[in-house]
Each structure stands twice: as C-alpha cells, then as structure tokens.
Amino acid sequence: MDELTREFLIESQEGLDRMERGLTDLEARPTDSELLSEIFRSVHTIKGTTGFLGFKRLEKLAHAGENLLSLLRDGKLQASQNIITGLLQLMDGLRSILHTIENNNSEGEDDDSLLIGQLQELQQPAPATSATTHALIAESFPASTPSMPVTQPLHVSAAAAIDASNLTASDSTLRVDVLLLNRMMSLVGELVLTRNQILQATSHDPNLTPLSRRLDLVTADLRESVMQTRMQPVSNVFSKFPRIIRDLSQSLNRSVRLVLEGQETELDKRLLEAIKDPLIHAVRNSLDHGIEPPDVRIAAGKDAVGTLTLRASQESGQVLIEVSDDGAGICVDRVRNKAIERGLIVAEKAAHLSDRELMQLIFLPGFSTAEAVTSISGRGVGMDVVRTNVEKIGGKVEIDSQHGKGTSLRFCIPLTLAILPALIVRSLDQNFALPQSALFELIHLPFQQAATVIEWIDSNPLYRHRGNLLPLIFLNNMLSPQCEIKSHDASDSYIAVLDIDGHRFGLVVDNLADPQEIVVRPLSSVLKSIGLYSGATVLGSGDIALILDPSAIAARANIFTHTN
C-alpha cells in the first residue's frame, strides 16, 4: 500500500467519525445548515479522492450519499428519522469498504446496489405527516467544546499500519505509528530506571550531584512529553455513544437524552481502548434495565425522556468516568434475595451487609436480577467481566443506586500503566512499592506509644486517629502469617493511611525509603496468583521490589466486608 492510500484511509476514517457525530446531532437539529454542510463535506471529500485512487466501488456509494446530502443541504429535503437512518447505513457501508481496502488493498466484491437503491428512494420527498416527528430522542449535549490549540500534543492514529520511518506532517499535527510510540515509552522506562540508579549511586558525591540532578530534571521532562504523545481525549470514545444510544433507543422503545461532560479529559491511548467495551456494556445496561419506557416514566411522575450521562474528570492521578441514568435504579432487597437464591451468599451474612455492600453483589459471576436475559443486556450479566477487565488495567469499579431514581457506575482508571509515583516501604527486610495514588497520609508510630494508641477489638488492631478508629493491617503478618503481631517491639514503625473506595485503613510497615518513580513490570503467574501484588519494579539500588495492591490487601484482611 502506497503512502497516498494510507493517508487517504486515515483522513477518510476521521471524516466518517465526524460524520457519525454530526448525524446523531442532526436528529435534534434537522434544519441546521452548518451541520448539514459538515456532513456533506465528509462524504464529498471521500468521493472526490476515490476517483483519483481508482476505488470505483467506494466512489459509487459515496456519490449516492452525496446526492442525498446535497438535497438536504439545499433545503429541498428535511432530515427525517428514516433519512438519518439511511445516512448512518451509508456511513457503515463506507467504513466497511475502507476496512477492506486497509486489510486487503482492494475494495472487495460485495454488492452495494441495495443500499444505493435505498439512498435513491430517500431522495424522493416524503409525505408531510411525520417527517420531523421523533418518538425517540437520542441527543448529545456536550458540557463544553474545547478549542484545539496549535500546541496540541501529537495526534496518534492507528487506522492504518504506517512504517515507523513514514511520518505525515501538517502545520500543527504529526501522525506517528503507535508501535513507534510504544517503543519510545519502553525506552523512557529504561531511562527512568537508569536515572534512579544514578541518583542513588551519586547521592554522596558532591562533584556528581549537580549532574545527576540535571539528569533527573531532563528525564522527568522527557517522560512527561512522551506520555503526552500517548494521551487522547475521552471524546474519542464518547463520540461513539450518540449512535449507540440512537440505535438502542429505537429497538427498546425508549426516549433518551444523552449528556456528555468532560470530553476534553485525557487518558493513555491503551487505557482508553481498554475501557471502551466496559463502557458500552454499562450503557447498554442503563438503557435495557435502567431507563424505563416513556409510559412507565410518566406513570411514575418522571419526564418521558430519560437522561443518560457520560461524565469524565481527573482526580489525584486518576481519571474518573461515570455512567449515570435517572431510571428505575436497583432494589437492594431484590439484590439480596437473588444472591441468596443463586447460592452466591448465605442469608446470615447477607443480613449484616449495608446497602452499599449489597450493591457490590451484582459484580459476582452469575448474578442477575433480570427476569429474562435479553439480546441487549441483563443487569448483572457480564458485570463481573466488566469489573475484571477494568481491574486488569489497574482500575476499579464502583456502583451507587437509588431504587426508583437511577444508577451510577464509576470507573476509576490510572492515567498510565507504564510509570507510577510510589512510596518505597520495608517489611520483613524487603522493599515494596506502594502506589501513591492510594496514599492519604503517613503516620510515624514510636514504639513507646504503640501500646497506648493501638486498641484491640476481637483480635483486630485499631489506631485511634483524630478521634476515629482506623483499622490496621500489619504488613509483616500479612506476608508471613506465622509472624506474630507485636505491638511492643522496641523499634519505631510507620502507618501508611490508604484510601480505598472512600474507606480508609492503616498499613503498618517497618520503615520508609524515599519516594521513586517506578517502571511497572508484569508479574509471573506464580506471584500473580498470590493476589497481593499488581506488578514488580527495579529500584535505584538495583533491587527488585513487588508493587503492593492496596485493594487486594484490604480484601485479604477482611478490613471491609467482602463477598468473594
């Protein structure tokens, strides 16, 4: 495939992405001339280039769509629901041909005559009955539309496999092969490891200290720059949902208003791709089992049109993505009964769970409150897979619901997987890395005070901190259960106060070392099966340290109620 064709494929896919966003907006603004012109340009650009490249099948289909869009743009037709559906099918057809060209370097031999015929029929004026009446609503209301500065980070496109040596530049953007970016990120990781070792080796040499500090600053700047090239706005994923909402609304007889907020929030490309499928599942659940049909909503005193909100924000080194609806919500009593009925939890234990804890039962494998599994989704069916997929990338899932008022599903995702700031702690004469994203506070615990400030309730240690009792986990004892917990050791220790899903506990460690930026390495299957670690890293001293997983530690110690 030559460079011109590769460039054509990338630009055409980007044009179709803009067309998809425009078509879902067009349903709410069928007479918006500016919107119609933008959609027309997307198809016109594809058709204009295909003739030069010799893609006759693509040219013929784009030409049929261009004729229909020309009538809409000139005001001779008005964008009805049927016309928008036809244009979405056109977009799917064009995208399919582009994928065939990308994979096979040819257009394929499928017949597009049926779709072309449908587009030609839509060019005929429709009766004036319900051309613009929509029983279903799928609107997108962005909270803000950020401007695109010329200093925008590198725009990465994986639409075509471009050789690392082949770069396509314009005045403000540069397309780079994703494989090249991955290689750059790996090299930066190695540089960070080397930087850490040099800093430690030269810490007591006054002649080398200025040079090592300079190396530290340059490495940090380079790391940040390379990471920025991998960052993409969540709008790249959010933009797919107006079409999904429209299609599902029609098939489920729902009226839905889609609200998009925080689309400018950025996330590592790899993580953005990994979160797409869990988000789609959450949205499908919201429409199928959350938002009620219009007549049911009206009977309940609600607006006939339901609201589904996709919201993204950045907090404390993490990206929070929330899917919330104002639908029927989840009845905790029904959740409890279903879990007992399916043998997922015993009645005695279920009776002592709070509403928040009961809600977490929907993430158990095999749980569902749906009376029948539909072709769309089932509330709970596959939710264990959603949680598993999110946890694979170092994230977590939270759910809140009020019966009759709606449900919110929150995904907490790390900004990147490659390099993390961590606190180095010691236990059993070994180093461990503790991600700083979970660290709330550090407390020095002199051995003379341990006996008075640590209290014991049913063999569970608690630390009285600012008037509250903080559950404690002794890392020594967790790593080596035969190691007896001693609160009167003649040595100081430290309490790392960790925050997990809004719950706090203290991890007691023997000692602390300086914080480091660590490069995350995958675990072997043996260490992964232990369930207490999220990865491994090499410290500046050259020693290998395991990366502690605070959520897994809390679950293992039963600090909070768990259902597994």
Per-residue pLDDT of 512-551, as tens digits, reads 988 888 888 777 777 777 878 888 888 888 888 898 888 8
Distance between start and end Cα atoms, the chain: 52
Structure tokens at 508: 């007691």
Least confidently predicted of 31-45, 60-74, 82-96, 151-165: 151-165
- Residue 328 to residues 222, 285, 397, Cα–Cα distance (Å): 49, 12, 20
pLDDT at 135 exceeding the cut of 70? no
Given CA atoms 11, 12, 17, 22 in this order, what sign does their dihedral have?
Answer: positive
pLDDT of residue 316: 62
Closest C-alpha among 437, 430, 359 to residue 398: 359
Give the Cα separation of 230 and 270 in Å (integer): 8
What percentage of the chain carries pLDDT values higher than 70? 85
pLDDT digits 0-9 by tens, 301-333? 999 999 999 999 987 667 899 999 999 998 888
pLDDT of residue 425: 93
pLDDT of residue 485: 59
pLDDT of residue 100: 92
pLDDT digits 0-9 by tens, 461-479? 888 877 778 899 999 888 8
pLDDT-derived band at 148, boundaries 50, 70, 90:
very low
Closest C-alpha among 245, 230, 233, 247 to residue 290: 245
Highest-scoring range by mean pLDDT, 200-204, 213-217, 547-551: 213-217
The set of residues, in sequence order, having a beta carbon less than 8 Å from that of 54 and lying 6+ positions away, is none
pLDDT at 132 exceeding the cut of 50? no
pLDDT at 168 exceeding the cut of 70? no
Q: Give the number of residues written for the chain.
A: 564
pLDDT of residue 370: 56
pLDDT of residue 378: 46
- Reported as half-sphere exposure (CB side, CA atoms, 13 A), residue 28 has a value of 16
Residue 136, Ramachandran bin (φ over 0: left; ψ between -120 and 50: alpha; else beta)? beta
More confident residue, 419 or 13: 13
pLDDT digits 0-9 by tens, 444-466? 988 877 777 888 887 788 888 77
pLDDT at 407 exceeding the cut of 80? yes
Give the Cα separation of 201 and 325 in Å (integer): 55
**Residue 294 — φ and ψ, nearest 5°?**
-55, -45
pLDDT at 38 exceeding the cut of 50? yes
More confident residue, 498 or 145: 498
pLDDT-derived band at 300, boundaries 50, 70, 90:
very high
Structure tokens at 38: 């933008």
- Residue 476 to residues 425, 480, 548, Cα–Cα distance (Å): 11, 6, 13
pLDDT of residue 433: 92
pLDDT at 33 exceeding the cut of 60? yes
What DSSP state is assigned to residue 289? I
Closest C-alpha among 289, 330, 279, 288 to residue 309: 279
pLDDT at 354 exceeding the cut of 70? yes
pLDDT-derived band at 65, boundaries 50, 70, 90:
very high
More confident residue, 420 or 248: 248
Give the Cα separation of 124 and 77 in Å (integer): 8
Mean pLDDT of all residues in 361-387: 64
Q: DSSP alpha helices (H): ranges in 253-364?
A: 269-285, 294-299, 332-341, 347-350, 355-359
Q: DSSP alpha helices (H): ranges in 105-207?
A: 113-121, 178-201
Mean pLDDT of all residues in 124-132: 54
* CB 409, CB 362: distance < 8 Å: no
pLDDT of residue 369: 56
Closest C-alpha among 456, 438, 399 to residue 285: 399
- Tally Cβ neighbours within 10 Å of residue 2: 9
